[in-house]
Structure 1
Amino acid sequence: MTPLRSARGFNAWIAATVGSELGSGILAFALTWTASGISPQVASAVPTLTVAPSVALGLLGGAVADRFGPRRVMITGTLAMLLVSAALGVAVILWMPSAVLLLIAATLIGTVAAFQRPAAGVFPRLFVADADLGAAMARVGMASQFARTIAPPAGGLLVGLIALSGVAFLDVVGAVVMLCTLLLIRPPRANAPARDAVSLRGIVTGVATARRTSGVPALLACVGIVAGAVIPAVLLGIPLAARERGWSASDAGVIEAGWIAGGLTCGAWFAWRGTATKVSRPMALGPLVVAAGLGLLAIAPAWIVALIGTTFIGVGVVVFTAHVFPTYLLLAPSAMVSRFQALLILVQQAPQLIVSPLIGLFVAVVGTGPVLAVSGLVATLATLIVVTDRTLRTFTTNR
């Protein structure tokens, strides 16, 4: 491992990312909180409509970023988010926050994210050498995770003090800072535009190329398995296990904090020291650590054991993703890197839409413990894929 050699402007973008992610997270909480005061149906529809455009439009968003470059797409998306937040703030002041208004805002926010996320995911590649990409992405991931961690409690405080309109204008401030930062910085590495990317043929070609690129199908399968096994199990499994075993709501909150703390600590290490050059070992180890954590959570007789389990989960996820994500970008052709990133985001999100309702169904039949144990076993399939794929076994970032 070697420390990250920072490129000019990269740290400024990370700092702006913290502010932007924090503003977006607080606004997301405020939208859901306001919607919950209207009806449970509206409250559940708001986050759904925020995610759905990313699934529906994500591949198009990646194609646009390949055609016009990640920086241009991020500037346009940030400006669009600024206008959406400002319009929401004004609309809430002029009219009461209705269900229609909240659902429109959620859909617009999700649509902007569908174009921004693929561009933001590949942006670090324009700042650093290939050997430093893992540490760079770990630093970005740690900053984003920190913002997402403090956003809900900050949103709970601010929505009571300045209401939804004030939170929307606060997000405008974050967008302005990000917009200014993007306009001022210039990544040292160029992005060659793919002129045929924004077409049905260009999108299909991107997916077909990903399928044919050695190592990429295996990585996508691993990401889908880990995302499907971990995220629903943690988000649903912790509260369900807490209620089943008589733990309090505060106990459940501490248990969930374990996976955040484990991930942040591990991410800080990789951001400081860099990632391993021989990526197959940590990629194979990560899912095993996740499985051990899910196993502890499945059998935990007390909340402190569950806390240890979720800490293991957080560490395992970051050990895995800190090496998978940069490897994936390095395997992608330079003219298709954003389309590849959009496909990666799709693979992360789609399994959750299927697994979450299944977890609720099986927990009602067999209880939380067996479902969490099975989730752990499923996660180990990612390890099996890594160790049996020749490209991943031999891949190194020292190229």
Structure 2
Amino acid sequence: MTSIKASRGFNAWVAATVGSELGSGVLAFALTWTASGHGPHVASAVLTLTVAPAVLLGLLGGAVADRFGPHRVMIICTLAMILVSAGLGVVVLVREPTSALLLITAVLIGTIAAFQRPASSVFPRLFVADADLGTAMARVGMASQFARTIAPPAGGLLVGLIALSGVAFVDVVGGVVMLVALLLITPPKEHTPAREAVTFRGIVAGVTTARGTDGVPALLACVAIVAGAVIPAVLLGIPLAARERGWSASEAGMIEAGWIAGGLACGAWFAWQGTAAKAWRPMALGPLIVAAGLGLLAIATDWIVALAGTTLIGVGVVVFTAHVFPTYVLLAPPPMVSRFQGLLMLVQQTPQLIVNPLIGFFVAAVGTGPVLAVSGLLATLATLTVVTDRTLRTFTTR
């Protein structure tokens, strides 16, 4: 076991993350479920509007965190989310949730996330030494993944028992827990404000510096490949393959659970044992594991084989991300670390907005199997990108 020197404040924040992410997850499910009652176009629009602000405002969100510090930004964003959830709960108590209300709520949630995510991604750096950053981020990721795993079934249960208004107030409780934790925490490292960050020149400087920092363009390319080519194929490919191959809804659910279980098990390993000092090796290995899993899913005629495939995919993604994200933070200049995170968020989200509709088109044209197989081949491009970058091959956290 690898032990990290982290303050009690860090551990309190990790614990609060479970409650906060669980509240956000059940609210996201309830919003989508309620929107689906207005028709598929409304449900699709709600999902899109929770992602689009990250694409439009992610760079600004990172700049704000560089200017004012991730701690302060997280406090303000958490308070804003509490107000949005409380407002939604009160409105839905007195009137039926309209399409307009759901869409407005989605925009507000997505906008808050555009500012909160870059800040929360770099927050662990204020608590631990660089050598321990990978392990610390793995523990945060483990807490978030655990909450996201139980959120959909919990959301399904709660929306039936207490409706959308009650679920909104559940999110308020999770937000209050996080807000209290953040107000009581004092990170051992201080943030140095980048006063020029929230200007057009400062935002552009973040992008140009990222482009000119050795190793960073390669990491961004790898993330774009995995996020754009792999994640949509899995999230859409599992239900489409299930219908195409005659698997039942319960079998499809088990296949989906394999993706989650594989990621959780792998995340728990890194949170307990720590991440590799020479990160390029697992960064290169992860996409190959993903490709193997996608290959199994592409050819599976039995749902057990598909389950093995999705489990491999979950393992591969976490092997990859558990080393990519800390390396990316460590390569970023300290005054620009949040702006780099905003750029990373942009790179993660934009390809998915483009690829999601294309997946449906190609599946309709050639079937699920070939699309999944091609996605697996594309995943290997991330491995090729890692092994051909000299900075990544020589980078070490110890």
Q: What is the TM-score normalised by the length of structure 1?
A: 0.98
| Alignment of structure 1 residues 136-215 onto 2, 5 Å | 136-215=136-215
Report the counterpart of residue 277 of structure 1 in structure 2. 277
Is 2:122 the counterpart of 1:122? yes
Equivalent-residue separation in structure 1 for 2:247 and 2:66 (angstroms): 49
Counterpart residue identity of residue 319, structure 1: V
Is 2:212 the counterpart of 1:216? no
Asked if 2 retains the 8 angstrom alpha-carbon contact of 1:4 and 1:272, the reply is: no
Counterpart residue identity of residue 241, structure 1: A
Asked if 2 retains the 8 angstrom alpha-carbon contact of 1:67 and 1:197, the reply is: yes
Gaps of 5+ in 2: none
Report the counterpart of residue 340 of structure 1 in structure 2. 340
Once the 2 structures are TM-superposed, how far is the Cα of residue 8 of structure 1 from its aligned partner? Answer: 2.7
Equivalent-residue separation in structure 1 for 2:376 and 2:40 (angstroms): 32
| Alignment of structure 1 residues 315-330 onto 2, 5 Å | 315-330=315-330
Asked if 2 retains the 8 angstrom alpha-carbon contact of 1:126 and 1:190, the reply is: yes
SS in 1 for 2:8: coil
Deviations 1:273-316 (A, max 9, x none): 10000111111100100000000100112000010011110111
SS in 2 for 1:9: helix
Equivalent-residue separation in structure 2 for 1:39 and 1:281 (angstroms): 46
| Alignment of structure 1 residues 51-130 onto 2, 5 Å | 51-130=51-130
Counterpart residue identity of residue 351, structure 1: P
Once the 2 structures are TM-superposed, how far is the Cα of residue 272 of structure 1 from its aligned partner? Answer: 0.4
Report the counterpart of residue 135 of structure 1 in structure 2. 135
Once the 2 structures are TM-superposed, how far is the Cα of residue 45 of structure 1 from its aligned partner? Answer: 1.1
Equivalent-residue separation in structure 1 for 2:100 and 2:357 (angstroms): 26
Asked if 2 retains the 8 angstrom alpha-carbon contact of 1:4 and 1:271, the reply is: no
Equivalent-residue separation in structure 2 for 1:311 and 1:3 (angstroms): 27
Equivalent-residue separation in structure 2 for 1:263 and 1:205 (angstroms): 35
Counterpart residue identity of residue 256, structure 1: E
Once the 2 structures are TM-superposed, how far is the Cα of residue 84 of structure 1 from its aligned partner? Answer: 0.6
Once the 2 structures are TM-superposed, how far is the Cα of residue 354 of structure 1 from its aligned partner? Answer: 1.3
Counterpart residue identity of residue 32, structure 1: T
Report the counterpart of residue 287 of structure 1 in structure 2. 287
Asked if 2 retains the 8 angstrom alpha-carbon contact of 1:263 and 1:315, the reply is: yes
Counterpart residue identity of residue 195, structure 2: R
| Alignment of structure 1 residues 1-12 onto 2, 5 Å | 2-12=2-12
Equivalent-residue separation in structure 2 for 1:368 and 1:308 (angstroms): 17
Asked if 2 retains the 8 angstrom alpha-carbon contact of 1:4 and 1:273, the reply is: no
Once the 2 structures are TM-superposed, how far is the Cα of residue 180 of structure 1 from its aligned partner? Answer: 0.6
Once the 2 structures are TM-superposed, how far is the Cα of residue 69 of structure 1 from its aligned partner? Answer: 0.1
Identity %: 82
Counterpart residue identity of residue 247, structure 2: W
Once the 2 structures are TM-superposed, how far is the Cα of residue 30 of structure 1 from its aligned partner? Answer: 0.8
Deviations 1:159-184 (A, max 9, x none): 11111111111111111111110000
Once the 2 structures are TM-superposed, how far is the Cα of residue 3 of structure 1 from its aligned partner? Answer: 2.9
Once the 2 structures are TM-superposed, how far is the Cα of residue 362 of structure 1 from its aligned partner? Answer: 1.1
Counterpart residue identity of residue 203, structure 1: I
Is 2:313 the counterpart of 1:307? no
Equivalent-residue separation in structure 2 for 1:87 and 1:156 (angstroms): 21
| Alignment of structure 1 residues 15-54 onto 2, 5 Å | 15-54=15-54
Equivalent-residue separation in structure 2 for 1:347 and 1:19 (angstroms): 28
Once the 2 structures are TM-superposed, how far is the Cα of residue 139 of structure 1 from its aligned partner? Answer: 0.6
Equivalent-residue separation in structure 1 for 2:95 and 2:329 (angstroms): 45
Once the 2 structures are TM-superposed, how far is the Cα of residue 198 of structure 1 from its aligned partner? Answer: 0.3
Runs of 4+ in 1 over 6 A off after TM superposition: none
Deviations 1:234-263 (A, max 9, x none): 111111111111111111110011011000
Deviations 1:68-91 (A, max 9, x none): 000000000000001111111111
